């Protein structure tokens, strides 16, 4: 199941491929193989190293029940609290950003007003202690299944841990959002598939569509026409 990038020499033409037809065919194969690799690598924000397994939900369940893998959940606390695999160890790759500098404060207000409001996404920053936190709970020889909601953070986490010396790593490449209901024992008020859903997007029906359109329109008006907005809403 491990995925490894082909080296340049593995894709070059052999000395026996001297005809133009053979050259064209070999270049076509090179393109298709490279495209397939890149498409697979897109499940993570980083190229997954050869020692890391990427698995689907059913394969992940076998790793846990048959091969002794421990589940490490790298999502933020809000998603973890909504639903998580039982048992699992929570070590977030990103933590809530409480920095008070002006730039961060402005970005926090913008985030909470829209991404936070509509999708319930926490305003976070990279957890600088992530590797150290994992090392406090597991040895470098431990078998770890890393999970997140979409498969992106767990791919990043796997790469960081491999660089730190962990060798038995796997992650669910499409995340918990694609895991079949009741495949794992869970804790929390929601299903694993829905743990990433919060905010206004959870409001069903036409009301959410109308309210969302109003809020987005208001935001764009305030952003693009600040002078007119001030005169309209704040003029005494």
Q: Annotated catalytic sites, by residue?
A: 148
DSSP reduced 3-state for 2? strand
User: For the stretch 51-67, what's the b/e string if a residue is b when 16 or more beta carbons lie within 10 angstroms of its beta carbon?
Assistant: ebbbbebeebbebbeee
Count the alpha carbons within 13 Å of 25 in the hemisphere toward its beta carbon.
8
Strands 124-126 and 168-172: unpaired
Strand partners, 84: 187
What token pair was written down for 156? 């990043």
Query: How do the residues of the chain divide into helix, strand and coil, expressed in percent and rounded to 5?
Result: 50, 15, 35
Q: Kindly list the distances between the CA atom of residue 6 and the CA atoms of 2, 10, 25, 41, in Å, as whole numbers in the listed order.
A: 13, 6, 18, 12
Q: How many C-beta atoms lie closer than 10 Å to residue 169's C-beta?
A: 25
The CA-based angle 220-225-226, given to 5 degrees, is 105
Rounded Cα distance between 110 and 133, Å, is 30
């Amino acid at each position: 199941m491990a995925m490894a990038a082909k080296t340049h020499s593995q894709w070059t033409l052999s000395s026996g491929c001297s005809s133009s037809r053979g050259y064209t065919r070999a270049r076509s194969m090179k393109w298709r193989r490279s495209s397939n690799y890149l498409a697979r690598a897109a499940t993570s924000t980083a190229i997954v190293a050869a020692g890391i397994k990427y698995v689907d939900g059913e394969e992940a369940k076998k790793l846990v029940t048959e091969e002794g893998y421990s589940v490490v959940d790298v999502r933020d606390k809000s998603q973890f609290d909504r639903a998580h695999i039982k048992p699992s160890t929570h070590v977030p790759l990103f933590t809530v950003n409480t920095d008070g500098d002006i730039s961060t404060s402005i970005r926090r207000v913008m985030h909470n007003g829209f991404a936070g409001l509509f999708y319930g996404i926490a305003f976070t920053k990279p957890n600088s202690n992530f590797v150290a936190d994992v090392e406090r709970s597991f040895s470098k020889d431990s078998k770890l299944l890393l999970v997140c909601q979409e498969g992106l953070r767990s791919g990043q986490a796997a790469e960081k841990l491999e660089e730190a010396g962990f060798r038995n790593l796997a992650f669910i490449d499409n995340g918990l959002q694609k895991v079949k209901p009741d495949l794992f024992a869970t804790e929390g008020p929601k299903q694993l598939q829905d743990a990433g859903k919060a905010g206004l997007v959870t409001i069903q029906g036409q009301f959410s569509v109308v309210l969302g359109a109003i809020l987005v329109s208001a935001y764009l008006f305030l952003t693009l026409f600040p002078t007119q907005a001030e005169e309209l809403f704040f003029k005494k």
